[in-house]
Amino acid sequence: MFKCVAIVGATGAVGQEFLSLIDKRNLQTESIKLLASARSAGKKVAFNGRDLTVEELTPDSFNGVDLALFSAGGSISKEYAPIAANAGCVVVDNSSAFRMDPATPLVVPEVNPEDVRNHKGIIANPNCSTIIMVVPVWPLHQVNPIKRIVVSTYQAASGAGQAAMLELEQETRDVLAGKQVTPNIFPYQYAFNLFSHNSDVGDNGYNTEEMKMVNETRKMFHCEGIQVTATCVRVPVMRAHSEAINLQFTNPITPDEVRDVLSKAPGVRIVDQRSPQHYPMPIDASGKDDVLVGRIRQDISQPDGCGIDMFVSGDQLLKGAALNAVQIAELL
Ligand code: A2P
């Protein structure tokens, strides 16, 4: 039982999911503290039949708090997560601020729950696209080590927060009304379009979202040798990311073996019906805890039988963010 759970970024897209998951999963806490910017201080949020008041995040916010779920962006985490940890609170941080810090565990409970034990006050929640990929890939890696992953993402607006979701909705209305579109959050028109993920591009030509998928997978798998290459793309979907995943295993593997492993894997649901066609779709994954996996087939470009292709969809706000963080809290 926690004494007080704080949600930092409580008014945001992930923050709202934190709150509803605390209720839905019955996370035991005597009280809840909602923290956001000064803009939101005083706002009321309904929870379990009562109103909670949003408070401004300050360095004193963590007195008496024993668990803090952070999702207010990297700079807020960098500044306030150490303050919270020093105040004796365990932080589960949804930002990228501490993910690659060797002293900070990076955890997906279906993959590396034991790493939680090594925390020194902060536990990092991985990138949403990484989480959705590793939930089905890890159990396969356990039975037949994976040498290489080639992943292409189809990422929803929710990954960029509430304002991005509103931007997609407004742009869609504007296009249908024949009005001029004015992008604000994203660099380009999002409605009826798609573009390469809007994170910074490094010297190697990969953007930071793509490199997160590479580096975070290696860290959680405790396997520096696994080769990962990613192409991350934003698509005009409101919520839930999809990914085309190509795998190269050490030994030959069949689609039936993959189905058998995944049918027993936690956090995975197979949706793979060829006639009539029904495969993972973001609309079906939205609001669901499980990562949907389908299009499971032998990769015909790997004649040694070591290749598998599949397509997955997972709710970015739930398993890709808030649910994973709450599951980490449950491990604690
Ligand atoms: P606010 O609503 O007061 O701006 P999203 O990821 O959906 O964009 O949400 C971001 C969350 O981070 C919101 O709850 C937002 O609060 C919060 N946030 C943004 N800037 C700050 C800040 N300077 N201090 C505290 N919370 C912040």
| Residue 36 identity | A
The whole-angstrom separation of Cα 72 and Cα 60 is: 17
Report CA(64)–ligand 1 centroid distance (Å). Answer: 22
Q: Which residues of the chain have pLDDT under 50?
A: none
Containing H/E element for 85? helix 74-86
Range(s) within the chain of domains with CATH label 3.40.50.720: 2-126+322-331
Residue 280's pLDDT is 98
Is this prediction's pTM over 0.75?
A: yes
CB 135 within 8 A of CB 223: no
For the Cβ of 198 lying below 6 angstroms from any atom of ligand 1, the answer is no
Centre of ligand 1 from the C-alpha of residue 100, in Å: 23
Q: Answer yes or no: 241 catalytic.
A: yes
* 128 part of the active site: yes
**Ligand 1 atom 23: residue of nearest CA:** 37
| Among protein residues, the one whose CA lies closest to atom 6 of ligand 1 | 161
Domain covering 2-126+322-331 assigned CATH 3.90.79.10 in the classification = no
For residue 67, count other CB atoms closer than 10 A to its CB: 22
**Integer Cα distance of 254 and 251 in angstroms:** 10
Residue 48 has what pLDDT?
86
Regarding the beta carbon of 128 and ligand 1, being less than 6 Å apart is answered no
Q: How far apart are CA 141 and CA 258, in angstroms?
A: 10
pLDDT at 210: 98
CATH top-level class for 130-316?
alpha beta
Q: Which residues of 80-109 are buried (b: 16+ CB within 10 A; e: fewer)?
A: bbebbbebebbbbbbbbbbbeeeebbbbbb
Residue ranges matching CATH 3.30.360.10 in the chain: 130-316
Residue 294: per-residue pLDDT:
98
